[in-house]
Amino acid sequence: MDTNGFHFGGVKKTRVTVSFPDTDPSVVQADNWLAGGMFVVGYDKALVQIDYGFYSMLRMDHDGDLYLDVGIVETYECLPYWPYICPFGIYPWAQELYSHTVLVEGASPSTPITLVASWDPSRSGWVQWNYTVNSRTYPAGAVNVTALAPTVIRYFYVGSRDLTFNWFISWIPYWQTYPFQFGIMSSYNIGHDGWNVLLSNPAYFREGEWHNVEAAKSIGGINAMLDTRWMWGGENYDGISADYYPSLEAGSVKFYYSGSTIEDHTVLWSDQPH
């Protein structure tokens, strides 16, 4: 989901709350999993085609166990047949700079869990992740990003003002209208119903306080993060519908299998107050 907010620029923290309400974990295949979470972009000041995808995903398996997966993927984006974008003989690539998984204990799949990614104010150049469940906050990993990527810009980037469809922006999916996303994924399409993923209250931290993501629209996997084509995105998740405003409060979207797929660029909410 594209979080095209009214603020555009660098922030130090992002968050979203994830749960699996009215879900029987056994509907997920034994070799599969279901996850919901957020993906936020960082940029590189040395090379404009270098991006960093910071991810925080709450993952549920067939047995109902919950895990928090966090990490950073570095991508080099270019088209080898466009010499002004990618020099001849150089091709797109992606590599995982960091990954970490923690078991989330003391929570059922329906328990709301808030995921936070932040640049650590006490350790320059570090990013840390944590999660809050039942009013208690736990660490979920930390890494010195500048040791791995010395020229990274030490901010996450969120939003833009435009929710309208734009052919050029849609065609170039890594453009800056898509730097903060939240959504769902699984190892492969579960292919039947019996599950839900609820994502609530995506927000960014700026000027000493949290701000709700003011507006959001849907995008499919080909325009999502961490691809092999433009180094963003993945396969579309066919058969997935969503409930959103006004069925749900603004700032919430619930995904589920129905056999029909929500259209790209569907506005989920707009003009949500800060």
Per the DSSP assignment, residues forming a β-bridge with 261 are none
pLDDT tens digits along 19-54? 999 999 999 999 999 999 998 888 888 766 788 889
pLDDT tens digits along 126-146? 999 999 999 999 999 999 999
- pLDDT (0 to 100) of residue 169: 44
- pLDDT (0 to 100) of residue 272: 73
pLDDT tens digits along 39-98? 888 888 876 678 888 999 999 999 999 999 999 988 877 655 555 566 666 667 778 999
The answer to whether 252 and 233 have CB atoms below 8 angstroms apart is no
What is the number of H-type helices and E-type strands within the chain?
A: 2, 17
Burial of 217 (0-12, 13-18, 19+ CB in 10 A): buried
The answer to whether 16 and 201 have CB atoms below 8 angstroms apart is yes
Euclidean distance between the first and the last CA atom of the chain, given in angstroms as a whole number: 19
**Which pTM was predicted?**
0.88
Q: Give long-range contacts, CB 8 A cutoff, 24+ apart: 150-155.
A: 151/44, 151/45, 151/46, 151/47, 151/50, 152/42, 152/43, 152/44, 152/45, 152/52, 153/10, 153/42, 153/43, 153/44, 153/45, 154/119, 154/124, 154/125, 155/9, 155/10, 155/11, 155/12, 155/42, 155/119
CA distance 70 to 266: 28
Burial of 81 (0-12, 13-18, 19+ CB in 10 A): exposed
Q: Structural domains in the chain? A: 9-269 (2.60.120)
DSSP secondary structure code for residue 171 in this structure: H
125 pLDDT exceeds 90?
A: yes
Mean pLDDT, rounded, for 223-252: 77
- Of 89, 104, 122, nearest to 36 by C-alpha is 104
Q: Name the pLDDT band for 170 (thresholds 50, 70, 90).
A: very low
